């Protein structure tokens, strides 16, 4: 997660600084998140969701991948998940609209939704800019608590390298 985000920020300094300007408490939240990020483990589904779980494997942050965001095109609206809801792996938990397409966001693991990124309601385009950023102003969708089953689901997911290979193969087709 961290490395990807760093690359992304380097690649899009203008976009990122625009976000930074608009979000006063950024330094605080960035520090808070970096604690999680340094120990986190990130995996992907074949349907292009990512989840980044904490070192104790009890909580996570999820979103849609940068690759998917690029494929979808300009995201104009995000229907966020419902806070407090318990979902099973593969359940539709929300949706994004881009270029006349409503696309489901599916739960990458069984989990309980604890927080949603309400900022995306105002700035859905943040997903296009920083899809895998879990800080304030980032494109993350929700924070979750993993269930026991959720941890097993997580084990089935692809790691960064496998996902990279997977999307590279997709692009060839």
Partner 1 sequence: MALPPRLRAIPRHFSISPLQRHITHPSQSPSSLSSIPPTQQSQTRRFTQNLTHTLQIYRSASTDPYLNLSIEHHLLQRSHPDSTILFLYTNRPSIIIGRNQNPWLEVNLHALREGLPPQTSPPPPPHTTPTTNDAHPSPRTTTATVPVPIALVRRRSGGGTVFHDAGNTNYSVICPPAAFDRDRHAEMVVRALRGLGVGGARVNERHDIVVDVGDGGGGEGAGGTFKVSGSAYKLTRTRSLHHGTCLLGSENLGRVSRLLRSPAEGFVKARGVESVRSPIRNVGVGGEEFVDAVMGEFRKMYGDAAGQGVVVGEDEALANEEVVKGVRELVSPDWIFGQTPQFTFSTHPTEEDPRERPEVVHTLPYGFETHFSIRHGEIQSATMAGLEYHDFVDEASQDEILSKGLVKQRLHYITDWRRTLKQASPIPVDVDDAGEFLNHMFGIQPPAEKGGGAVAQAVVQTISDTVVGMFLDGDIMDL
> Which span (19-27, 32-40, 52-60, 162-170) binds partner 1, by CB under 8 A?
162-170
Q: Is 48 in the site for partner 1 (CB under 8 A)?
A: yes
Nearest alpha-carbon partner for 132 in 111, 108, 150, 110: 108
Give buried/exposed letters for 38-53 (b at 16+ CB in 10 A, else e).
Answer: eebbbbbbeebbbbbb
Shortest distance, position 50 Cβ to partner 1, whole Å: 10
Angle made by CA atoms 114, 109, 60, in degrees to the nearest 5? 45
Which residue, 27 or 118, is less far from partner 1 as judged by CB?
Answer: 118
Q: Is 126 in the site for partner 1 (CB under 8 A)?
A: no
Shortest distance, position 68 Cβ to partner 1, whole Å: 5
Q: What are phi and psi of 28, to 5 degrees?
A: -65, -50
Provide the mask over 58-97, with x wherever binding to partner 1 is found by CB under 8 A and - wherever it is not. ------xx-xx--xx---xx-x----------x-x--x-x
Cα–Cα distances in Å, from 148 out to 57, 64, 103, 111? 10, 23, 28, 9
| Contacting positions for partner 1 (CB under 8 A) | 45-49, 64-65, 67-68, 71-72, 76-77, 79, 90, 92, 95, 97-106, 121-122, 166-167, 169-171, 173
């Amino acid at each position: 997660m961290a490395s990807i985000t760093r690359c992304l920020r380097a690649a899009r300094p203008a976009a990122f600084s625009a976000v930074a300007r608009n979000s006063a408490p950024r330094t605080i939240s960035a520090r808070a998140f970096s604690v999680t990020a340094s120990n986190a483990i990130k995996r992907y589904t074949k349907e292009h969701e990512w989840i980044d779980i904490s070192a104790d494997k009890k909580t996570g942050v999820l979103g849609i991948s940068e690759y998917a965001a690029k494929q979808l095109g300009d995201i104009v609206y995000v229907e966020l998940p419902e806070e407090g809801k318990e979902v099973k792996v593969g359940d539709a938990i929300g949706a994004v609209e881009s270029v006349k397409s409503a696309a489901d966001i599916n739960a990458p693991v069984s989990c309980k939704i604890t927080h949603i990124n309400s900022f995306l309601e105002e700035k859905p385009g943040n997903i296009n800019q920083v899809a895998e950023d879990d800080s304030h102003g980032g494109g993350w969708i929700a924070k979750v608590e993993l269930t026991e089953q959720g941890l097993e689901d997580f084990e089935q997911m692809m790691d960064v390298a496998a996902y990279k290979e997977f999307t590279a193969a997709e692009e060839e087709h």
